[in-house]
Amino acid sequence: MKLLGIDAIGVSEKELRWGKSFLMANYKRTQAPLVCANLYDKATKKTLVAPYLIKKIGAVNVGFFGLTSDKVDMGISRDSLTVEDPSVAAKRTVEEMHKKGATVVVLLSMLGKVEAEDLVSSVDGIDVVIVGRNTPLLQKGRLIKNTIACYGGEQGQYIGRTLVSLDAGKKMTTGENDTYILGPEVGEKPEVLTLVKSFEDNFNDKLRKAEKARAAKAEIDKANGGTGTTEQAVDHYLGAELCQRCHAEEYKQWQGTGHAGAWQTLVTQKKEATPDCIPCHVLGYKQSGGFQTGDDAPRLANVQCESCHGMGTTHESYPAQTKRITEATCKGCHTISNSPAFDFAIYEPHILHHPPASMPPLPPNPAKQKMMGGH
Ligand code: HEC
Ligand code: HEC
Ligand code: HEC
Ligand code: HEC
C-alpha cells in the first residue's frame, strides 16, 4: 500500500486477524497511513491508530477518517481492544477535522452497507463514504442525503474514481463516483508487479513441492502394497473427461456454458496464478483429487460436472440423493461479492442440460462491464 502511494487506509477486524501486536509491528515498520476513530486500545485508552488525518491535495484540505464496526468479533484481539459507537465517534471526529481546516471529509467505513448508509444520513458533514466490508460492487456511486457513497466490491479487483465539485469556500457542492474493473488494460506499476509476482511464484512453488511430496508418498505406499494413492482410500474428484465417456450429451451442453470457460477468464485477466482467484474457477480446489497447482489445469481447470454433482467416486449415490442440486450448490461460488446479481430462479435454467425453450436473460455481470480507459 505504501508502494501504491495510498493516502489513507481504514481498519477492520481483518487487519486484526493475527492479533494486535502483529498489526502494530507492521504499522510501525511501514508507517502505513491507517486511520480509525473508534478503535481503542484497552491498556492505553487511546485510539489504536490515528483517528484521522488531513492531507492537502492540490489546494484543498481533505480529511480522512476511519470507522470500524462495533458488531463484529475482533477475534484474538477482542480482549485488548474496544470499539466505540460509530455515530458518536463520527460526530466528534468530523467536528474536529472541520476545526483543523478540512473542507472535504472522507469516511473509510468498515461498517458494512446498511450501517454505513444509515450513519452518513444521520451524521452531517461527511462528503464521501467509501463503503467497505462485505459490500457488493456498484458501478455508480449513490448520493445519500449529502454524501457520495462509493461501493468498490471485494478483493481489490476494482478501482473507484470520485470527482467532487467545490464552491469558493472549497466545500463540496456535487460529485459523482464510478468504479472500474482492474483488467489487463490498466497499466502495471513495475515495483508492485515484481512484489506480487514473487509472492505468487513462491506460493505456487510451495504448493508444487507439497504436491510432489504427496505423490512420492503415494508411490512408496503403493510399492509397499498399499492402496497406491492416498486419494483412492477416500472419495475424490475424477474430472469431466471421464464423465464425458458416458454422458456425451450433458458434456456437450456444459461446454457451451460459462462454467467451461471459467479458467480462460482468469488466463485472459492474467490472474491464473493468483491464489485468491482460483478456487471458484476450477474443480475441487485443494480437495482430494481436485485442482492443486497450475500443472493440473489441463484436466481440472474450469467449473466442471463434479463442481455441482459432487465427487465422481460417489457416483453410485447420485440418483439416491434426489434434488441434491439446490441453490446451496451454487452459492459456494456465486457469493454476494463475486456474483452480486445471482438469483437461482434466473440462473438455473441457463445451466440445465435440457434447458427450457424460453427463459429470462441473465442480468448484466458487473465484472464483465466497462474497463478503465474508456473501452
Ligand atoms: C461408465 C459410464 C459412466 C461414467 C464414466 C459416468 N457415469 Fe454418470 N451415469 C451412468 C449411468 C449408466 C447412469 C444412469 C444409471 C443410474 O441411474 O445410476 C448415470 C447417471 C448419472 C447421473 C444421474 C443420476 C440421477 O439423478 O439419476 C448423474 C448426475 C451422473 N451420472 C453424473 C456423472 C458424472 C458427474 C460423472 C463423472 C464424474 C459420471 N456421471 C460418470 C454412467 C456413467
Ligand atoms: C465451483 C464454483 C461454481 C459453482 C459450484 C457454480 N458456479 Fe456458476 N459460475 C462460476 C464461475 C467462476 C462463473 C464464471 C465463468 C466465466 O465466465 O468465467 C460462473 C458462471 C455461471 C453462469 C453464467 C453467468 C454469465 O453471466 O454468463 C451461470 C448461469 C451460472 N454460473 C449458474 C450456476 C448455477 C445455477 C449453479 C448451481 C446449480 C452454479 N452456477 C454453480 C462458478 C461456479
Ligand atoms: C468465491 C468464488 C469466486 C472467486 C474467489 C473469484 N471468482 Fe470470478 N467469478 C465467480 C462467479 C460465480 C462468477 C460468475 C458471476 C456471474 O455471472 O454472476 C465469476 C465471474 C468472473 C468474471 C466474469 C467472467 C466473464 O464471463 O467474463 C471475471 C473476469 C472473474 N470472475 C475474475 C475473477 C478474478 C480476477 C478473481 C480473483 C481476484 C476471481 N474472479 C475470484 C466466482 C469467483
Ligand atoms: C452448474 C451445475 C451443473 C454442472 C456444472 C453439471 N450439471 Fe449435471 N445436472 C445439474 C442439474 C441441476 C441437473 C438436474 C437434476 C437436479 O436438479 O438435480 C443435472 C442433471 C444431470 C444428469 C441427469 C440426467 C440429465 O441430463 O438431466 C446427468 C447425467 C448429469 N447432470 C451429468 C453431468 C455431466 C456429465 C456434467 C459435466 C459435463 C454435468 N452434469 C455438469 C447441474 C449441473
For 64-103, write each residue's pLDDT tens digit. Answer: 999 999 998 888 888 899 999 999 999 999 999 999 999 9
Cα 192–195–201 angle (5° rounding)?
Answer: 135
pLDDT score at 372: 39
Q: Is residue 312 part of a domain?
A: yes
Nearest CA to ligand 4 atom 40: 305
236 in contact with ligand 1, CB cutoff 6 A: no
pLDDT score at 323: 61
Contact 129, 149 (CB under 8 A): yes
Same-domain status, 256 and 155: no
Contact 106, 48 (CB under 8 A): no
C-alpha of residue 312 to centroid of ligand 4, in Å: 12
pLDDT score at 374: 33
Nearest CA to ligand 4 atom 2: 308
Q: For the chain, how many structural domains are there in total?
A: 2
Q: Is residue 266 part of a domain?
A: yes
Same-domain status, 19 and 101: yes
Domain that holds residue 235: 225-368
Nearest CA to ligand 4 atom 38: 251
C-alpha of residue 289 to centroid of ligand 1, in Å: 18
Task: Quick: pLDDT tens for 263-278.
Answer: 999 999 888 888 889 9
pLDDT score at 373: 35
Count Cβ atoms within 10 A of the Cβ of residue 166 and give its class: 0-12 exposed, 13-18 middle, 19 or more buried: middle
Antiparallel, parallel or unpaired: β 142-144 and 147-151: antiparallel
pLDDT score at 368: 57
In this prediction the pTM is 0.73
pLDDT score at 25: 95
Tell me which residues of the chain have a pLDDT lower than 70: 226-233, 321-323, 366-375
Same-domain status, 163 and 272: no
Contact 79, 100 (CB under 8 A): no
Same-domain status, 43 and 148: yes
Cell of 219: 508411490
| Separation CA 125–CA 119 (nearest Å) | 11
Same-domain status, 169 and 28: yes
pLDDT score at 370: 44
Nearest CA to ligand 1 atom 37: 243
Q: Is residue 194 part of a domain?
A: no
Choose the residue to mutate in 271, 303, 323, 325 for probing ligand 2, maximizing ligand atoms within 8 Å of C-beta: 303
Those residues with Cβ within 8 angstroms of residue 226's Cβ, 6 or more apart along the chain or in another chain: none
Same-domain status, 353 and 269: yes
